[in-house]
Every structure is written in structure tokens, then in C-alpha cells.
Amino acid sequence: MRFKLKGLTVAALTLTLGLTTAACGDSDSGGGENDKNITIGVVSGWAEGEAATALWQRLLTDKGYKVDVKTLDTGPLYAGMSKGDVDLFLDSWLPGTHEDYWKQYGDKLEKVGSWYDSAPLTIAVPNYSPLQSLEDLKGKGGQYDGKIVGIEKSSGLYRVSQEEMLPAYGLKDEFKVTTSSTAAMLTELDKAISAKKDIVVTLWRPHWAYAKYPIRDLKDPKGAMGKPDTIYTVGRKDFGKDQPEVAGWLKKFKMDDKQLGSLEDLMENKYKGKPEQAVDEWLKTNQSYATSLTS
């Protein structure tokens, strides 16, 4: 999400992409129309992107493509696409959340298609919480140890929560948005709910946590979390020209809450760490939908 690349990150990116190229063997990920090698970037812990990526890895593999999935932080992923080292990213939040990355790299990327139309950034609490609105946090920093549990610092969700929401509600002196990882935030949420303790977390929709946990969003009367984004599939420059067949399929790609939620649930809960098995089971009840995408 929004994040200025520091020297360390650039070095890490160089190393990561160097290893990626070496591992792929064929560094020409941006080959011509006959190239059946496609590299998809994914951000760990972003459930909707992991689900969409696992699905398309299967669909493309079934069509004879060799799909290489690379896990990268958001900044390095966009930078990698801009250099042609990554072909696709299925979890680009625009126009708001990834605005800074689009300003930095957008002229070297292309929007292939949009697949989820209304994706808001949220601040969530357990259903038993007395809080109803972000305005209710005022004066309660002590009760919550002065923290709203966040995710990766490189995320636009962190930037919006820390730099826009807190000042808008006069909370900057009482609260800070902590940073760790999406997985760590969800672990804290799980522990708090199990113990019936109060907790406030940064979250977003679509996310499987809304189906698994008794949680709800705090109202945002000032609109400080921004308007809902659209989730896009974004490609490196000329991806559509080099891979017209795949681009055509991706343009048709749309998921509703039921389709996405059921796939996320299988991936995150029943088959954690085994995305192929999750997709296997999901396709048993969604095969006609999946077939329609690549026909």
C-alpha cells in the first residue's frame, strides 16, 4: 500500500528479484504471444489477493501456462512490475489505497480489469464492544492501551488509519496504530475475542474474518477512512499485448461476496497453507463459474 521505498527495501527488492529471475530460469517474463510463463505477485496475509491468485494459478495452469507465484511486500511488488520482473498483481486497490504506488509506477503498468467493486478500509471491534463509532474512541485511550492493532507498515491501511483517521477524530495524542503483520493482527483479534476482551483493529472488506468472528465496523461519520476502492488486476506494461488470451480472461473476472468469502474461508481455515486443496474443494461447487472465465 502507501509507502516510500527506503534504501534497505530497494536492496531487498534487488536481491529478491535477482533470486526470482534465477529461480525462474527464463528471465523473459515479458516475452511475446507464445510465452506461456507468467509470474504473479502476491502480498502475504491479504486474503482476497491470495484467494484470487490461487484460483488463477489453477485456471492458467489448466490451460497450459507455467505460473510462478512470488510473495513480495507491496512496494517491491509494484517496483517489480514496473521493471517487467512481475507480470500480474490481482490485488491492486485503486484509486485510494495504492494511490502513491500508482503515482510512482502507473505509467509503466496497465489496468487489466477490475474484479471487486466496493472494497472499504475499516476499523473493527467485537460485537460485544460498547463502541459504535470512531468518535467513541475519544477519551478512551487508557482502556485500549493507546493502541489500534494494525497490519504491515507498508500498507495503505496503516497510512490512512494513522495519518488521516486519528487526526480527524482528535485521537493522535491518545492512540497509535501498531504495526506488525496481517497474521499477527488476526492472532490478537482471535485471542481477544476468546477472552471477551476489548480490542480495536484495522481491517478491510472483503475479508474472511467477518464470517469467522463476531465483529463489526465502527461508524466513520467523518469519512476519514476514505471511500471504498475497486480491486483491480494490474499488469506490467504491454501485458495485454503480449498475453491477449490471458488478458481477455482476466477482463471477465468478477467475484461476489459469496464466491470470494467461501474460497477465502477454505484457504484460511480448512486448508491453511494448502491453497491447491482449497481451490480443489471450491471448484466442486463453482466449476461452471470457473469454466466461464476461460472459455
The predicted-structure confidence for 222-265, as pLDDT tens digits, reads as follows 999 999 999 999 999 999 999 999 999 999 999 998 899 899 98
- One digit per residue, the tens of pLDDT, for the chain of length 295 reads 433 333 333 334 333 444 333 334 343 444 444 589 999 999 988 999 999 999 999 999 999 999 999 999 999 999 999 999 999 999 999 999 999 999 999 999 999 999 999 999 999 999 999 999 999 999 999 999 999 999 999 888 999 999 999 999 999 999 999 999 999 999 999 999 999 999 999 999 989 898 889 999 999 999 999 999 999 999 999 999 999 999 999 999 999 988 998 999 899 889 999 999 999 999 999 999 999 999 9
Question: Do both 175 and 87 map to the same domain?
Answer: no
Considering the domain architecture, whether residues 115 and 130 belong to the same structural domain is answered as no
Q: Answer whether residue 31 is part of any domain.
A: no
Instruction: Specify whether 209 is located in the same domain as 168.
Output: yes
CATH number at residue 158: 3.40.190.100
Domain shared by 90 and 153, yes or no: no
Asked if residue 235 and residue 181 are part of one domain, the reply reads no
Same domain, 178 and 192: yes
Based on the domain organization, do 86 and 138 belong to the same domain? Answer: no
- 27 occurs within a structural domain: no
138 and 267 in a single domain? The answer is no
Domain contains 21? no
Query: Is 12 inside a domain boundary?
Result: no
d(CA 65, CA 293): 15
What local confidence, expressed as pLDDT, does residue 144 receive?
96
Report the C-alpha gap between 287 and 263 in whole angstroms: 13
Residue 5 maps to a domain: no
Do residue 151 and residue 189 come from a single domain? yes
* 55-93 residue pLDDT tens: 999 999 999 999 999 999 999 999 999 999 999 999 999
Which structural domain range is residue 193 located in?
121-217
Same domain assignment for residues 125 and 210:
yes
Its sign, for the CA torsion 21, 24, 27, 31, is: negative
Q: Are 104 and 236 within one domain?
A: yes
Q: How many separate domains does the chain show? A: 2
Looking at the structure, tell me whether residues 114 and 132 fall in a common domain: no
